[in-house]
Amino acid sequence: MKIASFNINGVNGRLPVLLRWLAEAEPDAVCLQELKSPDEKFPIDAIREAGYGAIWHGQKSWNGVAILARGTDPLETRRGLPGDDDDHQSRYLEAAVKGVLIGCLYLPNGNPAPGPKFDYKLRWLGRFANHAADLMATGAPVVLAGDYNVIPTELDVYKPEHWVDDALFRPEVREAFHRLLDAGWTDAIRSLHPEASIYTFWDYLRNAWGRDAGLRLDHLLLSPTLAPRLLAAGVHRDVRGWEKASDHAPVWIEITDAEAGTKRRAARSSKRRPKE
DNA sequence: ATGGCGGAGTGACTCCGA
């Protein structure tokens, strides 16, 4: 099963990019961010024709998240991040797809920092950590996928010294991300590629793509019950070079299906299995 | 590297993203 996350940067303006990528990559489940579309303008007909069911939480002009599922409809479990009834930005959507609970998030950018936008980002991170802990406590296989707007380490940015005061890289933000890892979440890409320089975003400005001046901002975090099923992870870099591309590239994982995962875990615990 | 590029909402500009 392939699960991907893609900050599409305008789902209507970039619909040809989305449809081409769905046809080429054939992900089983997709988290989209930055729809920049009100609910009534979400291109559900074209997405259904491409073979996907979908749920979405849009908003005029900005934000907006969606979950797509190939050949089926996502089973919605939550709309909006709990913890603040006054927060009306469309940044969190959650659904079950083929036995996996998928949280789709678009974390606030937070610039300029310091300031009210940065404060909102830190509050959002706190609410997110609380909800993530609740999800983990259920024991369900969970992936939290999306645009975190967090550069986790110096390895995840082309020139760390240019970003020290930026809301994507400030210590408070990095520490919040690492507290998630300490709590038991697995950064899928980093767990399989511990040393590699991997980016998911390249600015439109200053020929960032041509210079490979990128950032790793889009992440898939796996619960302890899902992490053992991780087979592969990567970034569809070439999509960033397409005509009318988003400034983000899709990030993806492949996991064993639920039945195979159960067999694997059973095999691992078996006394007959030789030590790895 | 504080200008750039690009989308959306409106209708030459603004706001916003990262």
Mean pLDDT estimate for chain A: 94
0.85 surpassed by pTM: yes
Class of domain A2-272 as given by CATH: alpha beta
A34 is in an annotated binding site: yes
d(CA A69, CA A19): 14
The confidence band for A264, taking pLDDT boundaries of 50, 70 and 90, is: low
Q: Return the nearest residue to B15, CA–C1'.
A: A61
The confidence band for A258, taking pLDDT boundaries of 50, 70 and 90, is: confident
pLDDT at site A273: 45
Q: End-to-end distance of chain A based on CA atoms, in angstroms?
A: 25
The confidence band for A272, taking pLDDT boundaries of 50, 70 and 90, is: very low
The confidence band for A8, taking pLDDT boundaries of 50, 70 and 90, is: very high
More confident residue, A271 or A226: A226
d(CA A228, CA A123): 31
Neighbours of A102 (CB within 10 A): 27
Express each pLDDT in A90-125 by its tens digit.
999 999 999 999 999 999 999 999 999 999 999 999
Express each pLDDT in A162-174 by its tens digit.
999 999 999 999 9
The confidence band for A18, taking pLDDT boundaries of 50, 70 and 90, is: very high
Chain B nucleotides reached by a protein CB under 7 Å: 1, 3-9, 16-18
Closest to A186 measured CA to CA, from A220, A232, A133, A222: A222
Q: Contact at 8 Å (CB) between A235 and A251?
A: yes
Query: Residue A96, Cα to own-chain centre: how many angstroms?
Result: 15
- Give catalytic residue positions of A: 106, 147, 248
- How many alpha carbons lie under 13 Å from residue A63 in its C-beta half-sphere? 19
Closest to A250 measured CA to CA, from A34, A51, A18: A18
A7 is in an annotated binding site: yes
Express each pLDDT in A131-163 by its tens digit.
999 999 999 999 999 999 999 999 999 999 999
Neighbours of A176 (CB within 10 A): 20
Query: Residue A191, Cα to own-chain centre: how many angstroms?
Result: 15
Neighbours of A174 (CB within 10 A): 17
Express each pLDDT in A28-87 by its tens digit.
999 999 999 999 999 999 999 999 999 999 999 999 999 999 999 999 999 999 999 999
pLDDT at site A263: 58
Q: Residues at the strand B interface (CB under 7 A)? A: A 7, 9-14, 34, 36-38, 60-62, 108-109, 111-112, 117, 147, 149, 162, 168, 201, 203-207, 211, 213, 215, 217, 244, 247
A248 is in an annotated binding site: yes
More confident residue, A262 or A188: A188
What is the share, in percent, of chain A residues with pLDDT greater than 70?
93
A127: Cβ–Cβ under 8 A, 6 or more apart, which residues?
Answer: A81, A82, A83, A84
Q: Return the nearest residue to B1, CA–C1'.
A: A206
A109 is in an annotated binding site: no
